[in-house]
Each structure stands twice: as C-alpha cells, then as structure tokens.
Amino acid sequence: MINIHKIQFAYAGGSPVFDGFSWQIAHGDAWAVIGPSGCGKTSLLYLLTGLHQPQRGQIRIEEKPITAPRPRSGLVLQDHGLLPWSTVYENARLGLTVRGFYGSDGRHAPVDEELTMHEADQRVQYWLEKLSIQHLRSQYPSQLSRGQRQRTAIARTLAMQPDLLMLDEPFSALDAPTRRDLQRLILDLGVKSQLTTIIVTHDIEVAVTMGKRILALDLDGNQQVRIIENDGACNTDYRYQSQFRDQCDYLHDILGDLL
Amino acid sequence: MRHQLNLPTALMGLVMFMLIWQVLAWIVQRPILPAPIVVLPIFLQTIFQDLGIHFLASTGRVLAAILIAVISAVPIGLILGQMPKLDRVMAPLIAVTYPIPKIVLLPVIYVFMGITDISKIFLIALIIFFQILVVVRDEAANLHPELILSVRSLGAGRRALFRYVYLPASLPAVVTALRLSVGTAIAVLFIAEQSLTTYGLGYYIVVETYQVLRYPQMYAGILAMSLLGLLLYFCISGLESHICRYQKG
C-alpha cells in the first residue's frame, strides 16, 4: 500500500533525519514506530501525510506519489490540533466540513464521496457515541481532559473514513484505564475495518502491544531499517503472556541506551 | 484584562460621578461648571432635538470608520501573518507608521479627499485600521504550527484555512483591538468635528455652545459624547465576551 523509496529529508540547517530511508507497508498492517526523540518519528508521519516533502526519493501510497495531504489518510497529532474556539462536535465534524467546503474534487475530498449535511452529522454523531464523548459535544477543548481531547481528535479523523490511520504518541499522558480503553478501540478498528495503522511512540510496551511489526528508528539517518516481527500484538491479552515480556526485553536491548 | 462592566456597576459609577460633580459645582460656583441638576434636564430635552442629530452624526461616522477599518485591516493582517516573507518586507513600514498620531494627517487628508464626511471617517478609520492590522497579523503568525498542520491533514488548503482557522482565530483579537482603539477614535473625531462641518458632537460642543458661552448646553454635549463612548465600549465588550466564551475553561 505504501512504498517509501530511498528518501532523504532534513530540516533547514539540520543534518538529515532520513538519508536513503526505504520502507514498505502492506494494506491492513498494524505498525508501531519506535525510537529516541529526534529520530524522525513525527517527521515520518508528516512525510507520509504529505505535509512535508522529501528532498530526494519518493513516497507512494496506492501507487500515487504523495505531494499533498491525501483525503483517505488520517493523522492524529500529539497535541491533537483541535480548534480552541470550536466545540467537541464542531471539531469532530471539521474534516467533513472542510470536505463540504471544497466539494468532492479528489484533491481535498475523495471523488466517490458525496455526503449530505445530514449524513455528515450522522457520521460524526456515530463516532462521538462510539468513542463515548457524545455527552461532551457542546464543550470546548479547554474544558476537556487530555484523554477526551484525544478522543475528539480521533473522532474527527475517523469520521473521514480513512484507510490509513496515523497516530503520534496517542497514549502518552493518559491514565492507565483510559489508555487501555483507547488501545482496545484502535485494535478493534484495525481488525474490523481493515484499517492500516501506524502508531508512533517512544514507549516500548505501547509498541509491543500495538504493532504487529515494529520499525525501530535511530539517530543516524536510518539508511538501514530495523524491523521487529511481533505477531502476538493487536490482542489485549498479549500483555499477560511471557512472549510479550520477551519482546519488550528484546526492544530494550537494541534501543535501551537511546530511549 | 477584561473587567466586566455590568449594569449595576455602571449605574453605581454614574451615581458616584454625578454626586462628585454636584459637590464640585457647589464649591466652584461659576458659570463654567453648572451643576448636573441644571445640565441633566437640558440633556434629556435636547437629546431628542438638535443634540440628538449631532449625536447620530458622530455615531454614524464612528460606525462607518469601524466598518471600513475592519474590512480592510483583517484581510491584510491575515495575509501578512500567514506570509512571513511579505511580513518581513512590510514590518519596518508598519513599525514606523503605526505610532504616528494620525490626527496630524488631518490637513493632508482634507486636501486629498476634500472637505467632506469621507475625510473625517477616513481619519478615524486609519487609527482603528493600524490597531487591528497589528493584532490580527500577530495572532495569525502565532498560531500553533501543529494546529495548522493537523487542519491541513484534514484536506484544508489555503482557502479553508482562512475560513476555518485564521479568521475565527483572529476574531477575538479584532474585537479587543476595537475596544482599545475606539476611545482614541472618538477623541480624534471630537477634534475633527470642530471644523469644516455643521454636524457632530465636536461641532456642537465647541462651535455651537462653548464659543457662545452656552455652558449648560455644552455639558449636555459632553454627556452625549461620553454616552457615545460608553455605548460603544459596552457593545464591544459584550461582543468580546460572546466571541471569547471558549477561553473560559
């Protein structure tokens, strides 16, 4: 589904974050990307979304080169990017509102999707209920807890029915029950709707829980990619099995000093 | 920064103000300071006659100026805030022209735009324009890059960003700028109205009453001008707390 071919990317004045980096992602894969801060985890999501462009090399999703945000790619950033002046409902609807603003032109919205106002409202409503934030619909982001803001951002992305869901540190700063709830929800989505997921984290346990395959990034430009197969993931009972601990220990060994 | 001026507070302030005025009038005992019990009946009578017309003329000028300033300054401020390169080119010019007391341009404006209402409105609009331009520019420039990126990831291009991010983000700043500049605008209007017109509170206070020693009427004019300032401040404050309601976490 995604093919990253020998990309080079550096921020102005910095040394390359990616230097000849290649990576393939198959449809329906559940990936976790782990690495020390500054290794380019978030930059990788920006590149995949089309918000940043590589200086060299190419990223293709479904054979199409990525030069601008793609309507079917969903991104949830670490600070959620909610509009402070809009309610939970308005925020969750924003993606569909933007689509309605442009019409289904294939660039800003998928060509094959023509939603009426009512259908858009219903879809947002569905996700608010599914994420249990329906009762907060008239609240502003400043009135929400971190977990509730996270859910709002996820609802906003899911309402756009993405086929690729990218989450940047989705579980950091969440309390344990909220974290488990949200993990279960995302795992569920991956299984039920054949969603390709990429979860960026610096937390080994999160990576081992959420990623069937784990990409470990480094600070050296990532010419050599390290991929750890982790078949037991995407199952909430996995964390109680000995294999889970073994995988965590293994990741600790190869990343230990860096994290 | 926003101390709410609600109705009870305003009434309380008004009563205190009148009391002090009354006491001062008793002490001074000169025609230049008539007591409020003399001025108030005149005010209440004339505000429905000639004073009312002058009041409306001034109000019209201020409102027209606000409208012109807002619709010209907001887009320019947004563009500058969103285009750092252009902003860097324009910033020195704005920095130099922003603090100029715009009233000194009055004769120049008269020569260029003629002795009409347009000149006076343009002058006040200029004052409000700069105030709004600067805050909208800074507000648009200071938006979280992550916020912009995540809205862009939803498919928003430049037009949608304007509509759903930059515009609503700068609205509170626009209203705050208005609240801060409307006082200066009225002060400048007062001066501009003293010549080359026969309508407006500035004309009424200086030419029709002060220069012919009708002191009680002059005070009625001063009251009307204060009322204009107070009403505008009230409206803008109300708008501000409505627009900024999301900020009360």
A188 confidence band (pLDDT: 50, 70, 90): confident
Distance CA(A96)–CA(B208), nearest Å, equals: 61
Rounded to the nearest 10°, the torsion over CA A169, A172, A176, A179 is: -30
Residues A126/A128/A130/A136 CA torsion (nearest 10 deg):
-140
Each of the 249 residues of chain B gets a pLDDT tens digit; together they read 455 667 888 889 999 999 999 999 999 999 999 999 999 999 999 999 999 999 999 999 999 999 999 999 999 999 999 889 999 999 999 999 999 999 999 999 999 999 889 999 999 999 999 999 999 999 989 888 889 999 999 999 988 998 999 989 989 989 989 998 999 999 999 999 998 899 999 999 999 999 999 999 999 999 999 999 999 998 998 899 888 888 754
Q: How far is A52 from chain B (nearest CA, A)?
A: 10
| B144, B163, B168 ranked by CB distance to A85: nearest | B168
Residue A241 lies in a domain: yes
| Cβ–Cβ contact A94 with B under 8 A | yes
Q: Indicate the burial class of A149 (C-beta count within 10 angstroms; 0-12, 13-18, 19 or more).
A: buried
Higher-pLDDT residue of A13 and B192 is B192
Q: What pLDDT shows up at residue B236?
A: 93
Residue in the block written with tokens 């750890």:
A228
d(CA A46, CA A60): 14
Cβ-based neighbours of B206, under 8 Å, separated by 6 or more? B194
User: A232: pLDDT confidence band, cut at 50, 70 and 90?
Assistant: confident
Tell me which of A43, A44, A73, A85 to substitute to probe the interface with B (most B C-beta atoms closer than 10 Å).
Answer: A85
Determine the distance in angstroms separating the CA of B132 from the nearest CA of chain A, rounded to an integer: 20
Helical ranges in B83-166 per DSSP H = 84-97, 106-113, 117-141, 145-153, 158-161
- Do A138 and A89 meet the contact criterion of CB atoms below 8 Å apart? yes
Q: Residue A163: inside a domain, yes or no?
A: yes
A38 part of a folded domain? yes
User: Å from B143 to nearest chain A CA?
Assistant: 11
CA neighbours within 13 Å on the CB side: how many for B240? Answer: 19
A221 pLDDT more than 90: no
Q: How many Å lie between the alpha carbon of B242 and the closest alpha carbon of chain A? A: 11
* Neighbouring C-beta atoms of residue B191, cutoff 10 Å: 14
pLDDT at A136: 96
Angle, vertex CA B180, rays to CA B174 and CA B183, nearest 5: 125
Nearest residue to B188 via CA among B112, B110, B127:
B127
Contacts of A75 in chain B (CB under 8 A): 150, 153
User: Are B249 and A142 within 8 A, CB to CB?
Assistant: yes
pLDDT top residue among A36 and B218:
B218
In angstroms, the separation between the Cα of residue A44 and the nearest Cα of chain B is: 14
Quote the pLDDT of residue B3: 57
Interchain CB distance below 8 Å, A98 and B150 = no
Split into its structural domains, chain A has a count of: 1
Spell out the domain ranges in chain B.
37-242
Q: What's residue B248's pLDDT?
A: 58
A15 in any annotated domain: no
| Burial class of residue B64 in the structure, from the number of CB atoms within 10 Å of its CB (0-12 exposed, 13-18 middle, 19+ buried) | middle
Q: Is residue A172 part of a domain?
A: yes
In whole numbers, what is the pLDDT of chain A averaged over residues?
Answer: 90
pTM value is 0.82
Please state, in angstroms and rounded to a whole number, the distance separating the CA atoms of residues A18 and A38.
11
Tell me the chain B residues in contact with residue A170 when contact means C-beta distances shorter than 8 Å.
none
A5 assigned to some structural domain: no
pLDDT at A16 over 80: yes
Q: Please tell me whether residue A76 adopts helix, strand or coil conformation.
A: strand
Question: Which letter does DSSP use for residue B1 in this model?
Answer: -
Q: Is the pLDDT of residue A146 over 50?
A: yes
Q: Which domain holds residue A208?
A: 25-55+64-255
Ramachandran angles phi, psi of B139, nearest 5°: -65, -45
Query: Is the ipTM value over 0.85, yes or no?
Result: yes
Closest A-chain CA to B160: A98
What digits encode the pLDDT tens for the residues A45-83?
999 999 999 999 999 999 999 999 998 999 999 888 999
Q: Could A102 and B157 be called an inter-chain contact, meaning their C-beta atoms sit closer than 8 Å? A: yes
* A156 has a chain B CB within 8 A of its CB: yes
Query: What local confidence, expressed as pLDDT, does residue A154 receive?
Result: 93
Rounded mean pLDDT of A227-256?
85
Long-range CB contacts (within 8 A, 24+) of B160-166: B160/A98, B160/A101, B160/A102, B160/A108, B161/B82, B162/B78, B163/A101, B164/A83, B164/A94, B164/A97, B164/A98, B164/A101, B165/A83, B166/B78, B166/B81, B166/B82, B166/B140
Residue A183 lies in a domain: yes
Residue A115: which residues within 8 A CB-CB, separation 6 or more? A96, A99, A100, A123
B153 at A interface, C-beta within 8 A: yes
Task: Kindly identify which residue of chain A lies nearest to residue B248, measuring between CA atoms.
Answer: A142
CATH number at residue A201: 3.40.50.300
In this prediction, residue B1 carries a pLDDT of 42
The structural architecture, per CATH, of the domain B37-242 is Orthogonal Bundle (1.10)
Residue found under tokens 């990616």: A18
- Residue B67 corresponds to which tokens in the numbers above? 């409208």
Name the burial class of residue B173, with classes exposed (0-12), middle (13-18) and buried (19+) by CB atoms within 10 angstroms of its CB: buried
User: Which residues on chain B are in Cβ contact (under 8 Å) with A77?
Assistant: 146, 149-150, 153
Q: Is residue A110 part of a domain?
A: yes
* pLDDT for the residue numbered A259: 65
